Amino acid sequence: MRLPNGREVEAMGVDFETVKEDWNEYKLEDGTVLKFKTVVSSIIRTEDYDPMTGDPVYHIRSTNILRANVAEELKRLPGGAGKPGEKEEGMEVG
């Protein structure tokens, strides 16, 4: 396996079972609620050991998932249009 610093190390994939994947939840001052979790897709154990603890060094591949519950008054329509329910002003064509 090649590490981000370019060093090559011996490594092996480790089979695992997902026991629990909780969501972290954050409430922002504007009332928005963000839910965030990390989903692990693979775990690799290297031949290296942490010099302070003696624990093996693992590399994790994962995906971050974010859900946002946003108040209607903070939303904008796709493409730069106004707020939902807001009348658009434009020029007459024809």
Round to whole Å and give the CA distance between 77 and 84.
6
> With bands split at pLDDT 50, 70 and 90, how would you rate the model's confidence at 21?
very high
| Tokens matching residue 21 | 């994947």
What pLDDT, on the 0 to 100 scale, is given for residue 88?
56
Three-state DSSP state, 68: strand
The answer to whether residues 26 and 17 touch, using CB atoms and an 8 Å cutoff, is no
| Tokens matching residue 5 | 């610093």
Return the C-alpha torsion angle 1, 55, 37, 61, nearest 10: 10
What pLDDT, on the 0 to 100 scale, is given for residue 79?
75
| Tokens matching residue 48 | 């290296």
